[in-house]
Structure 1
């Protein structure tokens, strides 16, 4: 310091140049305030600048390089709809670029998607011949090795969209390669699929088992809460599964005991990822993200280090709705992830960031979902849905529900409410009026929930009364009517509830029963979704659809109507 500051310099107190930046020492260690200095022998007696010290050019150069790098990172990838062309997606932390082949967006058969022969044979045996739009787009993208966020409406086939690429590389149906390991060698877990609910986890396992068949179904292990943990740990030891499907709590719990080894895992799938970002999953998701797919021999991990640099896995996130919290999480957890939608592949780098996200995106001081996420849109809904609403007094809602079911002739009805304690009362009132009903919620045991679902699928129950638990992952293709007896909290929850009907191109109806003072909420959800909600009423066993001016009505049989509706 004395050698740098000589008697030739006159020190004046000011705020032009912090010396801490100039000499790379803290301000408190140097002087109590900021300092400006002037040369006593300067002919113009002007303040010295960084340029006069030969520093400006270096600083400007560094800034320019930084801007150039940021411009490269923010460049969005354009995906052509031609098979012959390819798009280039910039690798965030590498100089080289990856080529993403444009997917065959309207494949006529699974054989066009690059799946192995054994897997194609199993698909044919299961009666699956033509892939859906999201499957045509997602399967080639995942097979190319890209981290992905898969977004499509509920019931569009998202489960198979990530399940088939995994089975193409893992297990007995995979592609034959010269480097295949000895089948007698001890196997490690190669894929971990995380689901927010037991029902969704069990549904995913059933999809795997259908394709693997009874002989090889042991290679998939279910780790869900509510089941006997000791038996699950014993099955892990005995079967040595290659694929694990479970809920965050149980996976993290068994991992902490050292009985689940996932460091060499190749795939991590987060199904219904927007639900997994909830605060109650924070600690469990943190452990899963830290341990699944970590490079062998990696040193101690720092929370400040980007997760993409600490892992050697392919991360796939799935949901019908992708709020911005999911985009931020994907950019933090994955390596240059792409957004995969029906007939579309784009880069998440094109989405403007609102700042860095902590590991797992689950910081307690993170902004609320409502403040940071976009609303659900019509693309989040099955295309063949019809939306209605009617008003009723609170004490008459159950009777309105009963008249609604009879008017539409619905055989499989899912009714959504917000509070568990109200479910039993609703079921009691329906049964008292001769309508078979049962409740489904998280407080029931695994056996009780399984029994209720089996009865509903077999047609022994007409109405299933549930809460948000069933809005994720409940797959009952025959469901022809969804009723909101309580209003959903936002458009995203509405989209997930509505997705229980109209699955895989079928027709479906969703009716919201609300009180008069709640109409503004219905209008707000309608505006956010960008779809039409028609007002209706139930008279003499028929659904009367009202005109917006409330002066005309028309009779409609919603579930069985023809393209030519009856006139007014």
Structure 2
């Protein structure tokens, strides 16, 4: 905790950090917290899993902890899942500082949110669309905002929230402090920062610091039509305790989750078209271990933080290196090891090499497993089950029957029969998934921006579509 104390953090938050199991600041926290605590505007380039929520959450709580009444801090996030996740972490950080953060997002009954707003939270964590709804209804006024944070700004841009973000920023006082966090820095994000931030400090966590060192990374080169059979074999061989399989599209997630269930696996899918109640139900089942495999799109998994995920399967290769880092960061957490395996069709090998260059990490080729490998994997699991029962020693009531069987049959035959009963043989039920078009490697457009320089009045900015309808948050 000494390294946190050096950053000038109050005893109440230090106590919370201790309860949460923090030991020392991550690189983004070390760089961002002093700047934000000093009241400076800040641009942080960092992915999910680097500790950025605490990097902006600690200064935010320090700034609002002695205030009451109206909303003092606003955090904008691209998805409802991330809004909930960020609010939960802020409430843990602020538990001894009497600070309350309220998540505001689409899909939840608006009357329930209005009731919660009457309790005067100091902080709201909101998706842009739902926050605009409340502002238009006069349920939320941002005139007292002291600090505004844009989390995963590039993802909000990709989802079409740029117009809403600009409107929200214009409703806050010019004297506010603004922090912007983004995994990538496209031109539109640079323009946003130049327009609304005052001489911001720029901090960046390089790719080599965000590719989780405890995650073993592999790829399998396989045609699209064979991916599903290979996934099933891997599941039989590796027997993950909790696994996430990423699909590129909603259709892919639906087809893959149904196909897995058809072959007897405990799986469910989540994507943006599901109702909030359904998504909450699936995530609760996954967290509780009721289902073993979660099939998800990138957007649906944003902000997802489930402890105990042992394997990540990129059924479809991610769009870019940032998405790859985000996906594999779902495992290998809290000091635990994890494994990430990416399926690559031959025409996507250049795209894989591009990801390797950006992450500065070699992804190891794995041979395509056979049906024999899958069967051996299940046999190994059966042996482990038997040995575990022997180790636990809770089988005395079965000894008499075992002795009777040994008098009738050979011991090797008996153990072989037991293993056969315990072994799940590979299921080859025919399944057909709609093929996805291959991805091509793209040129790197994310050069580090120069945030100390503002654009002059004669310099062009890319136009925004003012007529774009607001996406549902």
What TM-score comes out, normalization by structure 2 length?
0.73
Q: Which has the higher helix share?
A: 2
The CA RMSD over aligned residues, in Å, is: 2.4
The offset of 1:215, in angstroms, is: 11
Q: Can you list the C-alpha shifts for 1:196-244, whole angstroms capped at 9, x where unaligned? A: 0000000011112223449956x322210101112212322x2122111
Q: Give the alignment of 1:281-300 within 5 angstroms.
A: 281-292=161-172, 294=173
Aligned to 1:252: 132
Q: Does 1:274 align with 2:274?
A: no
Shift in alpha-carbon separation, 1:279–1:203, aligned structure 2, 3 A: closer
Question: 1:441 touches 1:467 (CA, 8 Å); kept in 2?
Answer: yes
Aligned to 2:400: none
The offset of 1:153, in angstroms, is: 4.0
State the SS of the aligned residue for 1:280.
coil
Shift in alpha-carbon separation, 1:379–1:120, aligned structure 2, 3 A: closer
Question: 1:267 touches 1:314 (CA, 8 Å); kept in 2?
Answer: yes
The offset of 1:420, in angstroms, is: 0.9
Shift in alpha-carbon separation, 1:108–1:383, aligned structure 2, 3 A: farther
Structure 1: gaps spanning 5 or more residues: 1-106, 175-180, 295-310, 343-375, 543-568
1: CA distance, partners of 2:18 / 2:321: 37
Q: Can you list the C-alpha shifts for 1:127-154, whole angstroms capped at 9, x where unaligned? A: 3343223222221111011111223343
Aligned to 1:536: 366
State the SS of the aligned residue for 1:240.
coil
2: CA distance, partners of 1:505 / 1:125: 17
2: CA distance, partners of 1:525 / 1:263: 43
The offset of 1:323, in angstroms, is: 4.0
Aligned to 2:177: 314
Shift in alpha-carbon separation, 1:541–1:318, aligned structure 2, 3 A: farther
Q: Does 1:239 align with 2:69?
A: no
Could you tell me which of 9, 22, 45 is aligned with 1:128?
22
State the SS of the aligned residue for 2:161.
helix
Question: 1:134 touches 1:157 (CA, 8 Å); kept in 2?
Answer: yes
Shift in alpha-carbon separation, 1:424–1:146, aligned structure 2, 3 A: same
Q: Does 1:161 align with 2:60?
A: no
Q: Give the alignment of 1:428-467 within 5 angstroms.
A: 428-467=258-297
Could you tell me which of 444, 462, 472 is aligned with 2:302?
472
1: CA distance, partners of 2:163 / 2:192: 15
The offset of 1:409, in angstroms, is: 3.4
Question: 2:7 touches 2:33 (CA, 8 Å); kept in 1?
Answer: yes
Once structures 1 and 2 are overlaid, which stretch shifts more, 398-407 or 208-217? Answer: 208-217
Aligned to 1:383: 213
Q: Give the alignment of 1:139-218 within 5 angstroms.
A: 139-171=33-65, 174=66, 187-213=69-95, 216=98
State the SS of the aligned residue for 2:366.
strand
Q: Which has the higher strand share?
A: 1
Aligned to 1:228: 109
1: CA distance, partners of 2:348 / 2:11: 55
2: CA distance, partners of 1:541 / 1:329: 52
Q: Does 1:327 align with 2:190?
A: yes
Aligned to 2:231: 401
Aligned to 2:382: none
- Bigger-Rg structure (1/2): 1
2: CA distance, partners of 1:491 / 1:127: 29
Aligned to 1:338: 201
Question: 1:252 touches 1:285 (CA, 8 Å); kept in 2?
Answer: no
Higher RCO (CA 8 Å, separation ≥ 6 residues) = 2
The offset of 1:492, in angstroms, is: 2.6
Aligned to 1:30: none
Q: Can you list the C-alpha shifts for 1:491-515, whole angstroms capped at 9, x where unaligned? A: 2322222222233554332211122
2: CA distance, partners of 1:500 / 1:322: 23
Residues matched between the structures, number: 372
2: CA distance, partners of 1:130 / 1:530: 25
1: CA distance, partners of 2:159 / 2:288: 36
Shift in alpha-carbon separation, 1:329–1:203, aligned structure 2, 3 A: same
Structure 2: gaps spanning 5 or more residues: 375-473
Shift in alpha-carbon separation, 1:326–1:471, aligned structure 2, 3 A: farther
State the SS of the aligned residue for 1:510.
strand
Shift in alpha-carbon separation, 1:281–1:209, aligned structure 2, 3 A: same
2: CA distance, partners of 1:527 / 1:463: 30
Aligned to 1:488: 318
The offset of 1:109, in angstroms, is: 3.7
1: CA distance, partners of 2:207 / 2:27: 18
Question: 1:192 touches 1:245 (CA, 8 Å); kept in 2?
Answer: yes
Once structures 1 and 2 are overlaid, which stretch shifts more, 255-264 or 522-531? Answer: 522-531
Question: 2:12 touches 2:97 (CA, 8 Å); kept in 1?
Answer: no
Q: Can you list the C-alpha shifts for 1:400-454, whole angstroms capped at 9, x where unaligned? A: 1122233333222111111212222211221222221100111111111111111
